[in-house]
Amino acid sequence: MIALGGKIVVQGPQGRREIEAKDFVLGPFVTAMAFNEIAVEAVVPPAKGKALGGYLKLERRVGDFATASVAVALDMDGDTVTRAGCAMAGVGGQTIDANEAISVLQGKTLSVENIEAAAVAVAAVADPRTDHRGSSDYKRHIVETFVNRVLTSVANSEKKVAVA
């Protein structure tokens, strides 16, 4: 939701209100909803152009909390990125909004150099802690690798479509 620029609509006795997805989770098991509110709708803005992206998660066992996870959402106009969004989990106290970091791609193509610059920028925003799942350096490396893999996959899939 954060990578897509989404919002959560909540309802309570005082009526409805929208909360930006990036502001919804305040910490582990804590949201921005009041005690008497309930989430009633998720709003994702429509893509401007072709919507592409991906999600990767490293976990010790299926269903386990993420050691590191990355969601990337792109809007493309031909081979040019018109909007880029990114969010990470498992590498900080809450889900991390990396939209500003990955915005280095806006107005650019998914070249090897641009992909690497975006991956490094996103990894720099991660705030991992060393724990039983791995060191902070390891987790930051996973983030960089995952962003690189998602963007490379998107770039390669677009090349196949263009050739066909």
Question: Judging by DSSP bridges, how do beta strands 38-43 and 30-31 pair with one another?
Answer: unpaired
77 lies in the same domain as 16: no
Q: Residues near 29 by Cβ (< 8 Å), separated by ≥ 6?
A: none
At 14-30, the pLDDT tens digits run 999 999 999 998 887 89
Give the 3-state secondary structure of 22-55.
HHHEEECCEECCCCCCEEEEEECCCCCCEEEEEE
The reply to whether 1 falls in a domain is no
Q: Same domain for 17 and 78?
A: no
Considering the domain architecture, whether residues 28 and 55 belong to the same structural domain is answered as no
126 and 108 inside one domain: yes
pLDDT of 160: 58
**Same domain as 21, residue 55:** no
Shared-domain flag, residues 111 and 131: yes
pTM summary value: 0.89
Please indicate, yes or no, whether residues 39 and 91 belong to a single structural domain of this protein. no
In a domain, 31, yes or no: yes
109-139 per-position pLDDT tens digit: 999 999 999 999 999 999 999 999 999 999 9
Report if residue 91 sits inside a domain: yes
Residue ranges for the chain with pLDDT beneath 50? 162-164
* Shared-domain flag, residues 80 and 103: yes
Determine, yes or no, domain membership for 2.
Answer: no
Looking at the fold, whether 36 and 54 belong to one and the same domain comes out as no
Same domain, residue pair 71 and 94: yes
pLDDT at 64: 82
Domain that holds residue 25: 7-43
Same domain, 23 and 56: no
pLDDT at 40: 98
CA angle 13, 14, 15 (to 5 degrees): 90
What's the domain count of the chain?
A: 2
Q: How does the average pLDDT of the chain come out, rounded?
A: 93
The domain that holds 154 is classified in CATH as 3.30.390.50
Based on the fold, state whether residues 31 and 90 are members of the same structural domain: no
